Structure 1
Amino acid sequence: MASELLALKKASGLSFAQLSQKTHYAKSSWERWVNGKQFPPRHAVESLAGLCGTPSTQLLELWDRAQADREAGAGPGAEAEGASDSRGGPDDRAEPDAAGEPEADGTPPRRRRSRFLRTAAVLGPVLVVGGALAAYVTLGRGDDSSSPPPSASVKVAGPQTGCKGAACEGRDPKKMNCGADAVTVRTGSIPKDLVIELRYSRACQAAWGRISFAEIGATVVVNNSDGAAQADVVHYDRDVYSPLIAAPDDGSVWVCAALPKDKARSCTGRFIPSQED
């Protein structure tokens, strides 16, 4: 992830100070993210892609994979849906991109991911056509020893979760496995560093709030249009996420955050699942 950010920054010709001026993130934050000292928020990656005129879809997919890798190695207190937070403290640094290990059939390691963004437009159609041909050959053999059709047990629904809707109120998104399909649907900030995220799980029909790059005593509160609210406070480190709150299809949810001893709150926009799912 850090390698990609560095490549984009160099391509843009922008300094850290200029990146700060063009986004709501501080110069010091950009320096940490680009140099691999800290894992960047998803919204920051998307902002940098926009500044460089680069399609963000594939870069965000890379962020999601890196986030999944971080979650897989997180401690018992870390949030399963993927963020550094104060509940167990996985290493907050981004891991520099490197070549992968050789495959089992002896093929050479993968190229560095920094080449991926430059060649995706060319390779994409080739991979699609190749996949189609492989499927045609496999399905068209017609020999008597062909494998049976795929089992009906292949997952087509969402992940298995520990709660749904109102039953999720006040519960931990990690323990309920709501992070398995979670996405950040709204973002906000308290200049210059604190990042606010509204996380939503369709499988759980629930949402929660998360703040990053905060300070001890900062609060996060997730609300819904039924009048319910769940909150948490940064007790140590710089990140925290709230308990779950129900997110009905026709209702709305949003997240607010505040700095210590500051009555003013900053909030994300409202998210209505039925209008955007």
Structure 2
Amino acid sequence: MSGPPTNGTGSGTGTATGAGPPPPRCRGRACEGRDPMNMLCGIGLDTLVERRTASGAGLQVRYSPVCGTSWGRVRDTRVGDRIEPTAAGPTRSAEITDALDATAYVYTPMTRTAPGTLVRACFRPAGQTRREECFEATVR
């Protein structure tokens, strides 16, 4: 029986040199509007904000010093809920579109962020435009 190819470590999960995780696929402006997981920016990240909203959604603002970006993610949401982080680049957003999204983590696209940048994330619950909750943090 054959298994997955290995890199000599026996695990089949490392890089060819065994030197750690692969490098990110973008940095700063090149990451603007892109998916943080696909671009490998979720490795070695900092969580700047972690809050529970009044509706029970879990909101996080994440920052990747390696990619020079930030993004938001939410869970425990309802269809129509929205998260909108803003930093040095344009405001990005993600909306919960179906029941599957409501049970999983949903990420916003990335926006460029550098140390000293104020990052603001607003959670907008479905159908309640005046009930937004916003949270801020400064990247160190």
TM-score (norm 2): 0.75
1:234 pairs with 2:100: no
In 2: Cα distance, 1:196 partner to 1:248 partner: 21
Residue in structure 1 matched with residue 52 of structure 2 by the alignment = 189
In 2: Cα distance, 1:189 partner to 1:246 partner: 25
Q: Which of 32, 37, 40 is equivalent to 1:177?
A: 40
Residue in structure 2 matched with residue 257 of structure 1 by the alignment = 123
Q: Give the unaligned 5+ runs of structure 1.
A: 1-152
Q: What secondary structure is seen at the aligned counterpart in 2 of 1:268?
A: strand
In 2: Cα distance, 1:215 partner to 1:208 partner: 20
In 2: Cα distance, 1:244 partner to 1:164 partner: 10
Mark the structure with the bigger radius of gyration. 1
CA contact (8 A) 2:46 2:63 kept: yes
Deviation (angstroms), 1:192: 4.3
Alignment: residue pair count: 119
Residue in structure 1 matched with residue 110 of structure 2 by the alignment = 244
Residue in structure 2 matched with residue 221 of structure 1 by the alignment = 84
RMSD over equivalenced CA pairs, Å: 2.0
In 1: Cα distance, 2:33 partner to 2:25 partner: 13
In 1: Cα distance, 2:138 partner to 2:60 partner: 12
In 2: Cα distance, 1:187 partner to 1:267 partner: 12
Counterpart AA for 1:256: C
Structure 1 stretches (4+) deviating beyond 6 angstroms? none
Deviations 1:93-152 (A, max 9, x none): xxxxxxxxxxxxxxxxxxxxxxxxxxxxxxxxxxxxxxxxxxxxxxxxxxxxxxxxxxxx
Of all paired residues, the percent bearing the same amino acid is 24
In 2: Cα distance, 1:269 partner to 1:207 partner: 12
Deviation (angstroms), 1:188: 2.3
CA contact (8 A) 1:168 1:204 kept: yes
Q: Which of 75, 92, 117 is equivalent to 1:212?
A: 75
Deviation (angstroms), 1:271: 2.4
In 2: Cα distance, 1:250 partner to 1:193 partner: 30
Q: Give the unaligned 5+ runs of structure 2.
A: 1-16
Residue in structure 1 matched with residue 10 of structure 2 by the alignment = none
The structure whose RCO (Cα within 8 Å, separation 6+) is larger is 2
Deviations 1:35-92 (A, max 9, x none): xxxxxxxxxxxxxxxxxxxxxxxxxxxxxxxxxxxxxxxxxxxxxxxxxxxxxxxxxx
More strand by share: 2
CA contact (8 A) 1:257 1:265 kept: yes
Deviation (angstroms), 1:159: 5.0
Q: What secondary structure is seen at the aligned counterpart in 1 of 2:43?
A: helix
